[in-house]
Amino acid sequence: MTSSSASKQRMNVRLLPVVIVAVAILLVVRLGELSFGVELSPASPALAAEDSKEESHDEPKADKVAAGDHAPAADEAHGDAADEQPLTDFPVEFTPGEVAVLQNLASRRDELARLEKDLDARERLLNVTEERLDSRIAELQLLRDSIESLVRQYDEQEESELQSIVKIYETMKPKDAASILGGLDMSILLGIMEAMKERKSASILAAMEPKRAREVTTELARKRAIDLTTPATKGDPAG
């Protein structure tokens, strides 16, 4: 028993320095870590910012790489679409002369369009004017018919009154009729004498004063001569 306990004590004595050294080393390491962490803590945000910048720079590169991976496929799709595009969609180059001709044609086309609009407007105006003229002509036709009807009524009334006057003078004695008719205006007297029967008018002229009878006879002859010779005069050559 004594020998075993003594050996244990010797082992404990040997392990104690080892444990002390290990604890000391652990303390030194721990203190170093703490001091190192304190020194790095103020600069940690800057490092974090730099890390974030590096990550942000790396992300576009990654995007570019990804886009580069897809670029061939997009180019192929665009090439296929270009192959399917009709030939008329491709730009055509024109010479200056051809451009001038095309511009002239476009200008003429615009001018023709303006002329067409102007002609349409004038046609509409002419149609409206024609309608108004037709309406006015119809109104004038009605007015003319009304005037002609009134003139006929007036002429008929005048003729009826003249015949009544003529009958009055025809029923009178020639001497009495001559004394009254001799004092009338020549135009009225001629109208009455022309409307009378020749036998009655001759007896009245015979009963008139010779001077007045000559005047009436002359005017009646001139009027009848004009009525009879007017067509012949028109047919005679001048000179």
Domain assignment present for residue 213? The answer is yes
Domain assignment present for residue 189? The answer is yes
pLDDT at 226 (0 to 100): 73
The pTM (predicted TM-score) of the whole model is 0.38
pLDDT in tens, 123-173: 999 999 999 999 999 999 999 999 999 999 998 888 888 888 899 988 999
Domain assignment present for residue 215? The answer is yes
Domain assignment present for residue 43? The answer is no
**Winning range, highest mean pLDDT, from 51-60, 65-74, 89-98:** 89-98
pLDDT at 42 (0 to 100): 46
Domain hosting 183: range is: 172-230
My answer on whether 181 and 139 are in the same domain is no
Last residue of a domain, one of 157, 182, 209: 157
| Between 9 and 129, residue with greater pLDDT | 129
Instruction: Show Cβ contacts of residue 203 under 8 Å, excluding neighbours closer than 6 positions.
Output: 174
pLDDT at 151 (0 to 100): 92
What single DSSP character describes residue 238?
Answer: P
Q: Is the pLDDT of residue 102 over 80?
A: yes
State the total domains in the chain. Answer: 2
pLDDT at 161 (0 to 100): 87
Domain assignment present for residue 200? The answer is yes
Burial (Cβ within 10 Å: 0-12, 13-18, ≥19) of residue 213 = middle
Last residue of a domain, one of 107, 131, 157: 157
What single DSSP character describes residue 127?
Answer: H
